[in-house]
Amino acid sequence: MSTHLPADRLLAIIETQSRLAASALDLESVMAVVTDRALSLTGAAAAVVELVEGGEMVYRVCAGAATGHTGLRLRASTSLSGRSVREGATLHCRDARTDPRVDLNACRRVQAVSMVCVPLRHDGRPIGVLKVYDPRVDAFGAEDVATLDLLSGVIAAHMAHAADFAEQFQAGRRDPVTDLPNRRALDERVAVEVARANRHGARLTLGVLDLDRFKQVNDSLGHPTGDAVLRAVAANLSHRVEDGAYRLGGDEFALVLVEAGREGAAGVMDRIGRAVAGDQRCRGVGISWGLSAHRPGDEVAALLARADAALYAAKHRLATD
């Protein structure tokens, strides 16, 4: 990086290194220090540490205007942060509205117009991204880019040494049988989407489902076959639901349907039911489901409770038919 940084910025980076060393490599502390310092050094509206999880970039620690978006998931294949990881390069977007490299819908969601993405890599392995963004056009200059580029070299080493934190986060948020995100990941995602819906009036529906006749499969064919059925159901969910499918445990799953009302969500559930019924890998299981559409001022617990109640009612009707 050829840009010469002012002495105050260089001193701030040295101070950041000292703070990270003093944090005893606690993962949350490291990432919190990183986002706070990136925010203050660049004057950005928001700073985020994103981690690579499968084919997604996930907001893990957020500062400034990004606060409240923890758990937000972006497609690595279409986002600027995903491109930054793939190319191992710092990427600077001056105006997301005219930059073909960005996911414009995702940028609008978080009100990002200009941004800088810095890859966090260690020994050639992608770890994640440090990103700053702002609602103004061309909010970042060459000194900001150079500052983050230098800072990333400091923090990436700390992150990589912190017991492979990316794997830790993934393990804590993925179901080992289906490889879907788990209940913890669902709680984080729903919190983000409920906050967004309450702020902006966006539509949001939560669907929960469980499998009919799954116990018979386990009892008659054994648990390995039951696990294979769960993976087949998960594949059908992931194939048809772009926004996100989750395994809650046992034979229960959840779907987060962004920008979908109850009628649209019911159509999605019907299509999934037909797909599962027609998939020989699913061994004849069916699905029962319940939906909960967001209401103004909703809290996460209320949305989840209504979805569970709707599923319970559906199972009761099936048992009495």
Tokens of 305: 């409770």
> Could you tell me which of 135, 141, 140 has the C-alpha nearest to residue 45?
135
Tokens of 29: 């502390």
Count CB atoms within 10 A of the CB of residue 176.
Answer: 9
Q: Which contiguous run of DSSP H or E holds residue 183?
A: helix 183-200
Phi-psi region of 140 (alpha: psi -120 to 50; beta: other; left: phi over 0): beta
Q: Largest Cα–Cα distance of the chain, in whole Å?
A: 76
- Report the distance separating Cα 209 and Cα 211, nearest Å: 7
- Give me the catalytic one of 251, 270, 279, 308: 251
Q: Which contacts qualify for 151-154: CB closer than 8 Å, 24 or more apart?
A: 151/13, 151/16, 151/34, 151/37, 151/38, 151/41, 151/118, 152/90, 152/118, 152/119, 152/120, 154/13, 154/16, 154/17, 154/20
251 an active-site residue?
A: yes
| Residue numbers annotated as active site | 251
